[in-house]
Amino acid sequence: MQKLIVTLIALLLCTGIKAQIWVSKTVNASFFSSTPLEDIDAQSKTGASAINVKTNEIIFKINNSSFQFKKKLMQEHFNENYMESDKYPTSDFKGKIVEQVDLTKPGTYTVTVKGNLQIHGVSKEYQTKASLIVANDEIKASSAFNVKLADHGIKIPTIVFKQIAETIQVKMTATYQPKK
């Protein structure tokens, strides 16, 4: 986890500007797939993220094998058959808050985040809304968006096609503190 945080900060510092970096070691990521036959949901609480409040750059990184399922067999199939977590151990997002927002000032901001989401070794551009609450020397962020599995090269075998939705809903929350 520490290595993940250091990597994220290093990526944001490469902008050449003396950055004001805020980090989160408490990223919660979840996804939900609903079909008439079965609902699938999983959560990870081990992701990491960083925001450069001067440039509005943002990055998230999550270990794919950290997602926990209610059914262990689903978790096994997720890691071995769909995400191929041994081959693609992480998923990440690198992007920017589109609007010019002063994240050093308290307030609640609805922003647009645009960037590339890399899942299963395939990167695709996404744009979504996010909520940012700046208060008490922290930033709380949350967002929800949909991901088409086919867009990231994740194939669903025909035998289980009716059990896994083609599009899943992803939710992310994070609490950031200034990097000291």
Q: Residue 34: give its domain's CATH number.
A: 2.40.128.110
Task: Tell me which residue range forms the domain holding 97.
Answer: 2-178
Question: What are the tens digits of pLDDT across the range 25-73?
Answer: 989 999 998 888 888 899 999 999 999 999 999 999 999 999 999 989 8
Q: Which residues of 35-62 are buried (b: 16+ CB within 10 A; e: fewer)?
A: eeeeebbbbbebbbbbbbbbebbbbbbb
Question: What pTM value is reported for the model?
Answer: 0.84
| 166 vs 128, residue with greater confidence | 128
Distance of CA 173 to the CA centre of its chain: 8
Query: With bands split at pLDDT 50, 70 and 90, how would you rate the model's confidence at 104?
Result: confident
Whole-angstrom Cα distance, residue 125 to residue 100?
Answer: 20
Whole-angstrom Cα distance, residue 66 to residue 142?
Answer: 19
Query: With bands split at pLDDT 50, 70 and 90, how would you rate the model's confidence at 9?
Result: low
Question: What are the tens digits of pLDDT across the range 84-102?
Answer: 999 999 999 999 999 999 9
Work out how many domains the chain is built from and give that number: 1
| Number of other residues whose CB lies within 10 A of the CB of residue 141 | 26
